[in-house]
Amino acid sequence: AADMLGVHVDTLREWDAEDKLVPVKTLGNHRRYRLEDIEAFCTDKPKKPKSALVRVATYARVSSHEQKTKGDLERQAGRILTYCAEKQYHVIKSYDEVGSGMSDNRAKLKQLFVLVSERKIDKVIVEHKDRLTRFNFRFLQDFFDAFDVEIEWVSETMTNKSYEQELVEDMLTLMSSFSNKIYGKRSAENRKKKKELEAKAKEIQSA
C-alpha cells in the first residue's frame, strides 16, 4: 500500500490513527489494505470541516415587477443558489428584490448591509456586480472590505436581453429624476418671481 500511494509506512500508521485510511488487521496484527479502500482514498475529496465552511448571503434583483412576473427574479435567484451548492457554500440568508440599480434606498439591500456589518458572512454572492448597484460599485466594495466580506459574482458577462432592457429603464428613470428636479427648481423660481411682482404691483397701487 505504501508503494502504491508513494508514502512511507509511518504515514500509513498516521492515517490509520486518524481514521483516514483504515486497514484490515490480520491475526498476527499485521496491516492489510483492500484495493477498493486505496482507490476510494485516492479519488475521494477530503471533506471540509464545518468550521471552515464559507458563510454567504445571496442577493438577486430585477428592476421591474414585470420582470418578476415573468420569473426573471426567481430564475436569477435559482442560478445563484445552484452556484453556491456547487461551491459548497453555507447560505446564511437569501435576498430577492425588485428595485432600480440606480437607487440605494432598497429594503433588502439595507438588510444585507446590516448582515455584513454584524460580520455574520464571509461573502456576498450575486449573479453580476450590477445587481448590487449600477454606479459607484467601488464605494460599496470598500464598505464590504471594511468588514472582511468579499463580493463574488457568478457571471462575468451579461447576455440576457432583459438586462439590456433593464439598463435602459434605469437610465430613463435617472433622466426622469433629473428632469423633475430641474423643472421643479424652475417652477419654484417662477413662483418666487411671481410673488415678487405681485408684491411690487401692490406697492405701486398703494403709493
Catalytic positions? 63
Cβ-Cβ contacts under 8 Å for 85 (sequence gap 6 or more)? none
- CB-count burial class (<10 Å; 0-12, 13-18, 19+) for 16: middle
- For 107, phi then psi, to 5°, come to -60, -50
Coil, helix or strand at residue 126: strand
Distance CA 154, CA 129 (A): 9
* Of 34, 28, 26, 95, residue with least CA distance to 61: 95
Could you please report the per-residue DSSP string of 50-100? GGGPPEEEEEEEES-HHHHHTTHHHHHHHHHHHHHHHHT-EEEEEEEEE--
29-34 — which CB contacts under 8 Å span 24+ positions?
A: 31/1, 33/1
